[in-house]
Structure 1
Amino acid sequence: MTDLLETLIENREMVQPNHANMLEVAHGGNVMKWMDEVGAMSAMRFSGETCVTARVDQMNFERPIPVGDTAYITAYVYDAGTSSVKVRLITEREDLRTREREKTTESYFVYVAIDGENRPTSVPELTVDSDEGERLRRAALEGEID
């Protein structure tokens, strides 16, 4: 069994000009790639297995991330099936000089754990052993698309 808080991954990507579109903000495809990578890390930390992306339930881009700011990405596992792992991802724009942050993107990804022969393999049970873990799980379940 793995506790929800053990799956929490936070990462930053500096938005450089080569990551930007013609409006000089992070290209949505780059943001999605960064989120997918951090989400996979969370799923692998949970399962102890290699995990591949199976589904993106939604991808809501609420505001841009300008060149020079960072994309601050948070991911955690909030539910699991037999071989599937559900991960909530939130990206915030962060100005490192002022430490100001605001949410830019939110998504829910599903990963599948695979074995050495690239076949689905079982994952452990998710546990929630703290108030913070319970708060995060509840927030994910409330925002999830069925």
Structure 2
Amino acid sequence: MPTPTDTYIENRERIQPNQTNNYDTAHGGIVMHLMDEIGAMSAMRFAGETCVTARVESLDFQRPIPRGDVAVVESWAYGAGQTSVKVRLRVDREAPRTGERERTSDSTFTFVAVDSEGRPVSVPDLVVESDRDRELRDEGLAAER
């Protein structure tokens, strides 16, 4: 049975000129795209199946990511239903030369596990075994409130 720690992924992408808006910061759609891709990876790691996006909860853009900075996307599964996986996502802006980080966005996404014909399939139960698992699960649950 998978744990939140098993599904934790951190990915980085440097924001390029073709990913920016007229304010020279990352397009919100680009940030959402990165979150969706990494979130799906956490969901698939949890479910052991292909997962598709079913819901995005209040995606908050707290500050922009300037061109040339790095978008750091953190993702992990913190809950499960019969066929669904709840995934917590956080995005930070990271200065490439110093590593200084600042939160820019966060959300929770729900993914559904599907078979090769796109039909929903069951997912395993979430298991919490360690303090790190509890921390990740609790942060995901707190974001729902």
What's the TM-score, normalizing by structure 1? 0.97
Q: Distance in 1 between matches of 2:139 and 2:111?
A: 19
Shift of 1:123: 0.4
The 4+ residue runs of structure 1 with deviation greater than 2 A are none
Q: Distance in 1 between matches of 2:116 and 2:20?
A: 37
In structure 1, give the amino acid aligned to 2:6.
Answer: E
Q: Distance in 2 between matches of 1:44 and 1:142?
A: 22
Per-residue CA deviations over 1:35-63 (Å, capped at 9, x if unaligned) read: 00000000000000000000001100000
SS state at 2:102 partner: strand
What's the TM-score, normalizing by structure 2? 0.98
Match in the other structure for 1:95 = 95
Mapping of 1:23-62 within 5 angstroms?
23-62=23-62
Match in the other structure for 1:139 = 139
Shift of 1:15: 0.2
SS state at 1:126 partner: coil
Match in the other structure for 2:5 = 5
In structure 2, give the amino acid aligned to 1:35.
Answer: M
Identity %: 56
Is contact 2:11–2:38 with CA below 8 Å preserved after alignment?
A: yes
Between the two proteins, the alignment pairs up a number of residues equal to 145
Unaligned runs of at least 5 residues, structure 1 = none
